[in-house]
A and B are shown apart, each in its own frame.
Chain A
């Protein structure tokens, strides 16, 4: 049996991620325990509030296991709050917030301002032919990238909104709410290659 992709379902738009994988014929399930994560071939950290995702993962003893599995090479994909949680360093975090890590990057939480500064735009994405329509909702920005990190997407002003390091992908925006399936397909390929 092929293992599905797990979507961390502590808080946020996890159902939209599962539906996006479903639209391209990839099985995805919600995960809220170590056992459920270990039954999966890849992990998605969805959009939501990163401080809430951190707090709930810490409370239910998921934080350290997730951190270890990512470090051990579990393919992982984070959108928005998920990108924040995959950074090696969070800027503008709440006092006790810690990331899972996986990407050697510094990410600034809520970098554009408040909700009135949220926006949608089109951008180029490494490995995808035509433009990707992207929704930035109180979104983070990657302010520093380590030497092993590939930049996969930038805004027209050059700010970095997509990164990949090995089997770990992070983006500032939400393909799961715009009907964009190609980035999820790229992640599904990473997962398939790692199986």
Chain B
């Protein structure tokens, strides 16, 4: 043992924020609207729960402005489970984020699933001690969110549809753009940074590492174990499931099956086993049938 005096502990550092995101990898984060659903999610093996007022499928069906959840409901969920609790704030609504931080949630999702509060600016996430996850449809969007302080990125997909095609498109786009970036020479990265509308230093870091500096999850349309496993095979670090579980015929078994699929994503014999006897999947809406103004993925920029 040395005589050197240890430094004072540091809280809310980038390492500590991204660190929690790292620990969630390989896991499934489930949308819940009640403490009872949170219990089901934890018992099924969810790595975290997302507390929200209405799942995206209901937001879609019921319309109206969608906002941060009631603090009593969030408190109830925090009291119910041991796993991390996330909650959603509207894009740009930094006061909803302040309230969620005061409620001591473990992660805030600045989410396009809620109605945006600011059509120009996102939240300055460096102002917060709690880590943030943000949605992205392409690499430029992901890098801008990281620049604003996001500790995790989730591809957006199209929430509340049960149609995985947009999720596929977004994860393929982000990872494909990273691969293309890695192939560029140093002098080409200056133009790439301009095109991505992201800081050069971050663009260079991603090009060199061949990956984002934060975990990349997938969200928006995952409804079956096969969907979850496909996202993992495409290169996702983990999966968010929103309406797909509690809008299905058998939430308990479906939740468990999706958790197993995220772990054994490359073992078709296990995926076949967990896909059996799950009852009805959520009914679903084809993204192509959605009028453009109803597409949530187009919120945020």
- Which residues of A line the B interface, CB within 8 A? 9-16, 32, 47-49, 51-52, 55-56, 59-60, 80-81, 92-94, 109-110, 113-124, 126, 129-131, 135-138, 156, 174, 177-178
Q: Is the CB of B10 within 8 A of A59?
A: no
Q: Is the CB of B2 within 8 A of A131?
A: yes
6 contacts between A and B (CB under 8 A): A11-B27, A49-B48, A52-B47, A56-B45, A115-B107, A130-B2
Chain A residues whose C-beta falls within 8 Å of the C-beta of B82 in the assembled complex: 51, 92-94, 109-110
Partner of B26, one of A10, A51, A60: A10
Known: A59-B45, A130-B2. 4 other contacts (CB 8 A): A114-B104, A115-B107, A116-B130, A131-B4
Flag B1-24 by CB within 8 Å of A: 1 or 0 each.
Answer: 110101111111101101110111
Residue B181 lies at the interface, judged by CB distance under 8 Å to chain A: no
Leading 4 A-B pairs by shortest Cβ distance: A115-B106, A121-B9, A11-B26, A119-B9
Partner of B19, one of A32, A116, A174: A174
Interface size on B, residues (CB 8 A): 46
Q: Is the CB of A14 within 8 A of B2?
A: no
User: How many contacts between A and B, using CB within 8 angstroms?
Assistant: 143
Residue B193 lies at the interface, judged by CB distance under 8 Å to chain A: no
- Which residues of B line the A interface, CB within 8 A? 1-2, 4, 6-13, 15-16, 18-20, 22-27, 42-43, 45-48, 78, 82-84, 101, 104-107, 129-131, 256, 259-260, 262-264
Q: How far is the CB of B169 from chain A (nearest CB, A)?
A: 25
Give Cα A9–Cα B45 distance, bound, in whole angstroms. 15
Q: Is the CB of A130 within 8 A of B4?
A: yes
Beyond A110-B82, A119-B16, is A56–B259 a contact (Cβ under 8 Å)?
yes
